[in-house]
Amino acid sequence: MAYLPGLTNDIFISYAHADNTEGWVDQFHERLFNRLRQLDRSAPFTIWRDRKLTRADVFTDEIYGQLASSGVLISILSPNGLDSSWCQQERERFERAARSTGGLRLGNKIRAIKVTKTPSAGDRHKDIFGTLGYEFYRRDAETHRFNEFHPTSPEFDGLMQEISQEVYELLQQLHMRALSRIPNLTVYVATVSSDLKPLRTRVVDELAAWNCRIYPEASLASELSKNVIMESLGSSSISVHCVGPTRCSTLEDETLPIDALQLTCARNTEISRIVCQVGQPHTAVQEALKQTATRGSEDLICPETPDRLLQFLEDRVASLRKTGVTIPDALPTVYVVCNISEWDEALRLKACLECNSRFAAVLPIREVDDKSVRRRDHRDTLKNCQAALVYWGANSSESWFREEQREVIKARLKRRNRPLPALCLSSAPRTEAQAEAYNRPDLPFEQVPDLDCSKLRPLFRHLQGDRI
């Protein structure tokens, strides 16, 4: 079991087998694992690398599967690694696979770490990933000759400490992102002609993997209207329009085909737009593009491949998140604290909270046996949510409830300038003494006969904070 939810491996080490003739990669692997365990002994870190002495000519399904289910890539570079087509494929395929597990970038970092064991002629290794990475050698400024750091050297040990800390920080960010999947960016992906539907599907899938909400919710032209288009654009931070030579159908009471209509509507808002031309656009789209856009920004691109478009989108999404552009009027995230034995009741509460789009609800992690992992995730989620609801069901003891109540109080004290509205709720009969003991002005305790949404909604005012 990996530290990262939903993935098989936390780390994938890519290397040329010729570089492990003296056990250099073995030592690197072992030191990295030991350092990570020192940073967090309770975390079940997993590191994968191909230990076979020889490689087949075919990039095996096993290798690709391990890459696609890894959180961080460590690429050990040398002239062997740079010239190896196998290592090149591992780097390229990890970048491609990372898009479906949340994107290659994490803030101002990427999920790939470059480790240069041996420098290459012309310093070709410096171009990999566009990052500085870590150099396990020292070069003489006059002779340009180099000395590699032996695994027993203090220089090797010092770099391992730096790498392990960077990897741990990346894994922590990935862990939190995986456990807090409430989308914080909405993207309008315009409906397209039939020949461009596979491209739109791929764009939507990638954006969803990057934790974006996709509008319009109706992807078929027959389900759209101008009002729906305008409402969806108004709730989005950016729009993507893929256009080509095939003319889309036209909505009833409209004169423009649907692709040109969506582009025209977007140009009448402040939303930023990406227009992706696949071939020469048909006449209606060309006419729309000729009109000078006075509102919002617009990028017109003609990518050679779908991957180029996806890379452009990934950069834009990362930029928007970095500058804090998120969902207009984003829904407050409510963490529903519950005992796993009362999962069905928690799902009912989640549905009631999300009814009429008033809140976005998240539940504790469930498919994890390690109690320490669950507790750490619980505290991290309390740290990042906008409100908390503690549900005390019939199957939970009083001591369980007392502990969860204390956790909420601790989280509130640590947040200082970020209030944490909270509510304690029970549908199981409690004595008057219990209800009185646990009811406090800042942490109200409410009892309901059942989890009927109409009866619960008035109580949710406790979770709104200053949104009332």
pLDDT tens sequence across 20-32: 888 999 999 999 9
Average pLDDT over residues 354-372: 73
Given 146, 179, 212, the domain boundary residue is 179
How much is the pLDDT for 319? 82
Q: Residue 35 belongs to a domain with what CATH number?
A: 3.40.50.10140
Structurally, the chain folds into a number of domains equal to 3
How much is the pLDDT for 239? 94
- Give me the domain span that covers residue 262: 186-322
Is-contact 331 360, C-beta < 8 A? Answer: yes
Q: 56-60, 76-80, 366-370: lowest mean pLDDT where? A: 56-60
Q: 246-250, 303-307, 383-387, 425-429: lowest mean pLDDT where? A: 383-387
pLDDT tens sequence across 214-250: 888 655 666 678 888 887 888 788 999 999 999 999 9
Token pair in block for residue 166: 């960077």
- Pick 331 or 182 by higher pLDDT: 331
For residues 456 and 405, give the distance between their C-alpha atoms in angstroms, rounded to a whole number.
20
Model pTM? 0.48
pLDDT tens sequence across 390-441: 999 999 999 999 999 999 988 888 775 668 899 999 988 888 888 788 888 7
Strand partners of residue 436: none
For residues 208 and 101, give the distance between their C-alpha atoms in angstroms, rounded to a whole number.
10
For residues 159 and 157, give the distance between their C-alpha atoms in angstroms, rounded to a whole number.
6
How much is the pLDDT for 329? 46
Q: Is residue 82 part of a domain?
A: yes
Same domain, 315 and 349: no
- Whole-angstrom CA distances from 271 to 200, 224, 295, 328 are 19, 19, 8, 11
How much is the pLDDT for 154? 95
- Whole-angstrom CA distances from 220 to 223, 261, 274 are 5, 14, 20
- Pick 86 or 260 by higher pLDDT: 260
For residues 231 and 226, give the distance between their C-alpha atoms in angstroms, rounded to a whole number.
9
Same domain, 268 and 358: no
Same domain, 94 and 159: yes
Same domain, 437 and 390: yes
For residues 215 and 224, give the distance between their C-alpha atoms in angstroms, rounded to a whole number.
11
pLDDT tens sequence across 149-194: 999 999 999 999 999 999 999 998 888 766 655 556 889 999 999 9
The tally of CA atoms less than 13 A away on the side-chain side of residue 416 is 0
Average pLDDT, the chain: 83
- Pick 356 or 387 by higher pLDDT: 387
Q: Which residue has the tokens 């391990």?
A: 66
Q: Which residue has the tokens 């199981």?
A: 428
Instruction: Give 262's pLDDT tier (boundaries 50, 70, 90).
Output: very high
Instruction: Give 60's pLDDT tier (boundaries 50, 70, 90).
Output: low
For residues 433 and 135, give the distance between their C-alpha atoms in angstroms, rounded to a whole number.
66
Q: Is residue 28 part of a domain?
A: yes
Given 322, 356, 371, the domain boundary residue is 322
Given 133, 153, 179, the domain boundary residue is 179
Same domain, 128 and 196: no
Helix, strand and coil content of the chain, in percent to the nearest 5, comes to: 45, 15, 35
Is-contact 391 451, C-beta < 8 A? Answer: no
* pLDDT of 93 above 90: no
Q: Is residue 301 part of a domain?
A: yes
Token pair in block for residue 452: 């009927």
- Pick 102 or 86 by higher pLDDT: 86
How many angstroms separate the first and last alpha carbons of the chain?
A: 43
Q: Is residue 2 part of a domain?
A: no
Q: Is residue 162 part of a domain?
A: yes
Same domain, 384 and 275: no
Same domain, 168 and 207: no
Same domain, 228 and 318: yes
- Pick 341 or 85 by higher pLDDT: 341
Helix (H) or strand (E) holding 276: strand 272-277
Q: Is residue 365 part of a domain?
A: yes
Q: Is residue 67 part of a domain?
A: yes
Neighbours of 256 (CB within 10 A): 19
Instruction: Give 467's pLDDT tier (boundaries 50, 70, 90).
Output: very low
Max mean pLDDT among 33-42, 317-326, 432-441, 459-468 falls in 33-42
Is-contact 71 13, C-beta < 8 A? Answer: no
Q: Is residue 327 part of a domain?
A: no
Residues 6 or more apart in contact with residue 142 via CB below 8 angstroms: none
CA 231 to chain centre: 26
- Pick 271 or 365 by higher pLDDT: 271
Token pair in block for residue 411: 């989280």
Q: Residue 405 belongs to a domain with what CATH number?
A: 3.40.50.2300
